[in-house]
Amino acid sequence: MNLKAHFFDFINFINCLSAGLTTESYVLSYLSSQWRVQKRLTNKGLVHRRKTPVGPVGVGCVTHCLDDVRHGLRWAEETSPETYEKALGAAVQGSLRYEAKEILLYLLVEENAPVGDLNPLRLFEMKSKTIWLKAMERGWGINKRGSIFGHENLRFLDLARKDLDLVRWCLDHGAKIDDSRIDDWAHPCILESATKYGNAEVYKFLQSLGAQPGPHDLVIAAKRAPINFLEDAMGLVRYFLNDLGWDVNREAPHGRGLPICCGIGPEISEGTVSHACSLSKEQIHIAVLTAWTLLTGQNK
């Protein structure tokens, strides 16, 4: 808090009241002056950012102004090859960050922008098959993994989730079901991603093409189901237990626990969880209610 500024604001307020100015008039005058100050600071900041070629590029990406981006790139090109390369890289990353589709397409088509550093998650968020195809034409790999803020390293096929048509599109354009990575939390196999984000329809389709189930699939589906009663997750649980005959008591590796301890609630316990379970129905019911109470804080 700037005490000095607030002190002078208070003195100014007292002087205005002494001069006969109403409180409402003072407030309006004060807000108007603050708006003018903020506008000057904002304009000053934009002018400062435009002092180098990268400046207009950054501003253009934020405001989705292609003319600013073009201006910055031409300015950088006239300065030096190194400056142009820096400005072009900033334009690509800025267009991805601010989802400026027109700018990114321009960079890929007209500026021959490098595609090696395109993050799959950022690129997927553009939701433009035209941009995706152009990036792949330039050499970008659809099987490349990427993450944002330390999250899982995912591919386009992982991100397609429960959109079966998009899953087919990815496969038609070179997506691989198995990218030969060792399954772990940071690099999930495709069926683990389908369990976490998809549904039974997508899971069955990928499995029919040879995708192998992940060791955590049942636990992941069990965690999803009671959180907001997702029918997609509940359908997966039923498919695993009723159709595939998986043992509900098998513990997932890496300390992921038992499915019954991961949130399977009473709404899917009857008939489904009891399938292939060595516990009695009464024991299952008690265990489920105990887990449900601990997870939700409800006393039942």
Per-residue pLDDT tens digits for 117-171: 899 999 999 999 999 999 999 999 999 888 866 667 888 998 888 899 999 999 9
| 129, burial (CB in 10 Å: exposed 0-12, middle 13-18, buried 19+) | exposed
Per-residue pLDDT tens digits for 43-62: 444 444 557 888 899 989 99
Which tokens hold the place of 192?
């683990």
3 has a pLDDT exceeding 80:
no
237 pLDDT band (50/70/90 cuts)?
confident
Per-residue pLDDT tens digits for 254-274: 655 566 555 444 444 443 444
Contacts of 135 (CB under 8 A, 6+ apart): 108, 115, 118, 123
Q: How far apart are CA 8 and CA 187, in angstroms?
A: 58
18 pLDDT band (50/70/90 cuts)?
low
Q: Which residue has the higher pLDDT, 279 or 30?
A: 30
Per-residue pLDDT tens digits for 78-114: 999 999 999 999 999 999 999 999 999 999 999 999 9
Q: How far apart are CA 3 and CA 8, in angstroms?
A: 9
pTM of the model: 0.67
pLDDT of residue 214: 80
pLDDT of residue 47: 44
Mean pLDDT of 290-299: 47
Q: What angle do CA 90, 115, 71 make, to 5 degrees?
A: 35
**Residue owning tokens 């509940």:** 234
